[in-house]
Amino acid sequence: MNIQTQIDELIKTHGKERKALMPILQDLAKQNRFLSKETLQYIGIKMDISAAEVYGTASFYSFLDITRRGENVIRVCKTISCDMKNKQLIVDTIKKRLNIGVGETSHDNKFTLLETNCMGHCHEGPVMLVNDDIYTNLTPQKTLEIIDKYSRG
Ligand code: FES
């Protein structure tokens, strides 16, 4: 099914009102992992919402990828509880292992590293998400083991 047909189907399911925008974007991101500018424009046209508003919503929630990402997307929580539990050490561990910065994708296209907002596991920080899997109480050692697991595929 091409992406325009997917959007048409999702509009049938969720409706065309403004409140349907988030569920439609979430479902599309699940099915495609990447939403192009043209896709966002098409949604705007079909839902009668400005392209800027669609883009703003998609980019505000960093769970929606609007630029192409690596095969595995790592999102480290940057919100206060995780920050106080030294999430920076986890970010630095990942940066060093993969030789990339935050917002970058490794040369082999295997990993993208991002920071994101609270994921609701504040008492178990530091926390990161790899694709759809959540990892809590991270240490540098545990983080490296997790990355190795995804490297092996
Ligand atoms: S502050 Fe990190 S999960 Fe809530």
* Same-domain pairing of 116 and 95: yes
72-77 and 111-116 strand pairing = parallel
Is residue 65 domain-resident?
no
What integer pLDDT is reported at residue 63 of this predicted model?
61
Domain of 18 in residue numbering reads as 3-60
Name the closest-CA residue to atom 4, ligand 1.
122
Contacts 24+ apart (CB under 8 A), 96-103: 97/144, 97/147, 98/147
Q: Which residues line ligand 1 (CB under 6 A)?
A: 77, 79-82, 118-122, 125, 127
What integer pLDDT is reported at residue 67 of this predicted model?
74
Proportion of the chain above pLDDT 90, given as a percent = 66
- The chain-wide mean pLDDT, for the chain, equals 91
In tens, the pLDDT along 81-130 reads 999 999 999 999 999 999 999 999 999 999 999 998 888 899 999 999 99
In tens, the pLDDT along 38-94 reads 889 999 999 999 988 898 888 777 666 667 789 999 999 999 999 999 999 999 999
How many domains does one find in the chain?
2
Q: Which ligand 1 atom is at minimum distance from the Cα of 78?
A: 2
Q: What is the CATH number of the domain that holds 122?
A: 3.40.30.10
